[in-house]
Amino acid sequence: MRDGRVPSGDAAFSCPRLVPAVCRRGMHRISRTLGDTIGPGRARIGRKTRSGQGFGMVGLAEQGPPGHPMGGRRPGVIGPGRARRVEMKISMAVAGLALALVCSAGGAVSAQDAGGLTDAAQIRVGQVVSLTPERRASLDAAFAWRAGDEGVLSAEIRVGEVFRERAGSYEKQGRMVAKVRERADMATRMIGEARSGLSPVARDAVVHQTDWAAAMDRVEARMEGARARLAPSLLESFDDIDLHAFGVPDGWTEEEIAAVLMATGDYEYVEPDWRVYPHDTTPNDPLYGNQWHHRSGFMNSVRAWDFATGGPDIIVAGCDTGVRLTHVDLASSLVPGFNAVTNLTQAQGGVVDDTLNGHGTATAGCFGAIGNNGTGVSGVGWRFGVMPVRVSDRSDGVANLSDILQGARWASDNGAFVANCSYGGANSSQANSTGVYIRGNGGLLTFSSGNDGIEDQTTDRPAVIIVGASNQANARAGFSNYGVGIDVIAPGSNIYTTQRGGGYGNSTGTSFSVPLTAGALALIKAANPTLTNLQVEQILYDTALDVGTPGEDDFTGHGIVRVGEAVEMAVVGPSHIDLPFFDDFAGGVLSSLWRNPVGVIEVNQNAAGLDAGDYAMNLDATDSIETVALRAAVLASSVGEIRFSTQHRGVEAGESLLVEYRDPIGNWYALATVTSDGADQSEFVQHRMAVPFLGMHDDLKLRFTAQGSDGGDEWFIDDVRVGVFVSNQLPWSTGFENGIDLNFDWAASDAVATTEAPNTPEGTFSARLTGAGSMTSRNIDVSSGPSTLYARLRTLHTGVPSGQTLTVEYRDFLGVWQPLGQITSNGVDQTAFALNQFQIPFGAFGLELAVRYTASGTSPDHKWYIDDVAVTEEFVVDPVDCPADLAAPFGTLNFFDVSAFISLYNAQDPAADLAAPFGTLNFFDVSAYISAYNQGCP
């Protein structure tokens, strides 16, 4: 709202013209009255009211001042003995509401505009699309726009939320619902819209002239207008909660329609009316209970099935002894196969049936037994395409490695995403060559490690996923081979699966660990088809349960496969990640590193000072968002750093951005509060702090919450980082206003922060070194710094004998301390800080530059004060010294300078202390000023 207007749905009252910016402070008072009425917090929170337990906003909607038509559908919600007091507060609240309305000037708010997206798969939050005349016409036909809605239907629409559907669980159907705001919520909204640009004088004038009944009529009219707007497309209304179902107009997506309607400010939410299905992610296969490996404590397949169950478009090839074509739990999922021994496809007469051994039928059931069909068991995927690739014609199942790999390549060429080989040979060069070939097709190759319990995977084959076995104790099975080539392990003991005879039974060995892993890879891909094969593989590793030596090891690789966690990461991103955490919001979309948004969180380019192509996260009003959980326990043995940059625009003075962190038991604590001064910022301000002790655990989260009052309060957040502190970046500077920072600025220091030095150049603090004390900075990264770099410090000495020094050194790229310069005392106490700058030699450039200051004193009375420390490319030139030039216009001495000195002198200000004895203002200071004035400015 730029001009004091608020949407009304009809004509609106306007503020007196004698005061152009009306009502702001009065709205604050009214909002505070509303807060007193409903209890702590903002008036908009609190939707439930219980007798005797406080009076929420529902009370405002349902219990009005005497004689006012405020509904009264639930009389008596206010506890006994409180009615009179609450009625008085309601009167003030209604006065505020009326003030908001009388101070409005019509027209609907235009926070979101209209445009068009036609490809739902490409929609992202914050995306802006043009609105063509044809699409505008379709909107006009679909909705009965109110008189003040024109601002909503401007040239573009900004998508505020993307609605993701999941086939077989919840699906879009061209039908949406809109919830009209509660009466109290609508009132609060209208008050908030009227807050900008209001003055106390006009506010008071309006309050005394308000017609309260008309004010409440205005609320009712706006609510009725919100309902009427939907009428042309209305399908059904649920009057008990003021919810209305309507059809999505042709050519529009649900996201676009939601953005348009939410922009009116009249709805609590607008979302799809999902077509939903019974949600049973535990399959109904009668023998599923025998499959321990699917349970939550192991592979956690049941969790994965909440997100995806796999369809026939994802094909897994079993390069094995064939598959029993008539097995009831496999037959309908089979796709055409290949016989690698005879080099014949199934269509050419190649035999792919498992007629001799049964090994291939058992492995195929691990990844592809049909799930939730009321029969037998369930594979990792319920409906994968199962491709039989027969590689052996012997009853013992023995095969040539070249045939196995030929079959794997054929499978990849013919649509298989994973080619599974439950055979030896993973450690060979030809297996890796085939893996490279398959990866070039966008697929993956899996092999078993072997069952001899020996170290024979002695070579890392990066293009082959080599799988060992785990047991029901979540440990490596004793029979599982190991070595540097092992990538993961998966359940391999007593795996209940399909058998060649048409039934089911237990099978043991790494031969059954690897098809479970192949199924996990396929289900990750099914859950998020946009992932590349390498991303799928990395998700498998990132989510594995680390059960061996921390990190990847030769016995368990990355750990035990957890398909539940892997699929969840593929769909919604990781729930936990290792440090460092970093997000600069590149690409303009909110990444999977963020969770639990409250409000519409955008990533856009609306902040000032962003370079082309850069984005920042945007919060307004009371928006809030959290990071994923961070594994921060490693910070207990190092310095942890939290860093982020902020910028505020349109935020009233005193409103703030709250940054919190979560402790190990889930409590939230304030980490920082960034408060607006009311002036729009033109650049970002960086904030840096140490990770608190209670944040050093593996479930750390950060939360950012805007504490504003309306949608015009915009906070921009960028470059969020949490991790181990490594080095400072250029330019590095400190003024000691927060003390001697041993976390980030100083690695060691004998100095103390003090305010005793006069005329400090920055703030009131400086660092004091006494005797032979020294201070050493932390590392400064100048590996890609400018060609010219300076070390700067300002110094003042007292009590330091003539000839004593403060030595300035730098650490070069070899780690050797080298002299940079010396500052020598003349034995005369200084009353002003002197600027010292030294050019840093090129030999210092690297990742670990540091500076060190060392005094040569012999007594605690030998004091050096240091301030305005920096390592920077900036060379500072102090203004010409003209001590008599105390007032504007600077550079010229006149009456204003004399007057300024007299004022300083009369106020006993130290700035007038120009001559000894220092600390006392007397005739000598006046004489010194007259002398300086007569000398003039250079």
How far apart (Å, rounded) are the C-alpha atoms in residues 326 and 336?
14
113, 242, 320, 745: which is the annotated catalytic residue?
Answer: 320
**Which one, of 564, 446, 443, 434, lies nearest residue 511 by Cα?**
446
Structure tokens at 752: 């103390």
Angle between helices 212-229 and 183-193 (to 10 degrees): 100
How far apart (Å, rounded) are the C-alpha atoms in residues 519 and 502?
21
How far apart (Å, rounded) are the C-alpha atoms in residues 794 and 455?
64
How does DSSP assign 840-903, residue by residue?
A: PPGGG-SS-B-EEEEE--SSTT-EEEEEEEEEESPPP-PPPP-TT--SSSTTS--HHHHHHHHH
104, 301, 511, 513: which is the annotated catalytic residue?
Answer: 511
Instruction: Let me know if 692 is exposed, middle or buried by CB neighbors in 10 A (0-12, 13-18, 19+).
Output: middle
Structure tokens at 692: 């608190």
Is 511 known to be catalytic?
A: yes
Q: For 758, which DSSP code?
A: S
Residue 715 contacts residue 687 (beta carbons within 8 Å): no
Is 878 known to be catalytic?
A: no
- Write out the H or E segment, with its range, that includes residue 86: helix 83-102
Distances (CA, A) of 83 to 57, 67, 87, 933: 15, 14, 6, 73
Residue 94 contacts residue 101 (beta carbons within 8 Å): no
Contacts of 603 (CB under 8 A, 6+ apart): 125, 126, 585, 588, 589, 590, 615, 616, 617, 618
Is 36 known to be catalytic?
A: no
359, 558, 648, 697: which is the annotated catalytic residue?
Answer: 359
Contacts of 145 (CB under 8 A, 6+ apart): 139, 152, 153, 229
> 3-class secondary structure for 828-846?
CCCCCCEEEEEECCHHHCC
CA angle 650, 601, 584 (to 5 degrees): 90
**Per-residue buried b or exposed e for 380-417, using 16+ beta carbons within 10 Å of the residue's own CB:** bbbbbbbbbbbbbbeeebebebebbbbbbbbbbebbbb
Q: What is residue 513's three-state secondary structure?
A: helix
Pairing type for strands 338-339 and 344-345 reads antiparallel
User: % helix / strand / coil in the chain, to the nearest 5?
Assistant: 25, 25, 50
How does DSSP assign 672-691, residue by residue?
A: EEEE--SSPPSS-EEEEEEP
Q: What is residue 445's three-state secondary structure?
A: strand
Half-sphere exposure of 218 (CA within 13 A, CB side): 30
Q: How many other CB atoms are there within 10 angstroms of residue 192's CB atom? A: 25
**Which one, of 719, 753, 748, lies nearest residue 736 by Cα?**
753
Catalytic residues: 320, 359, 511
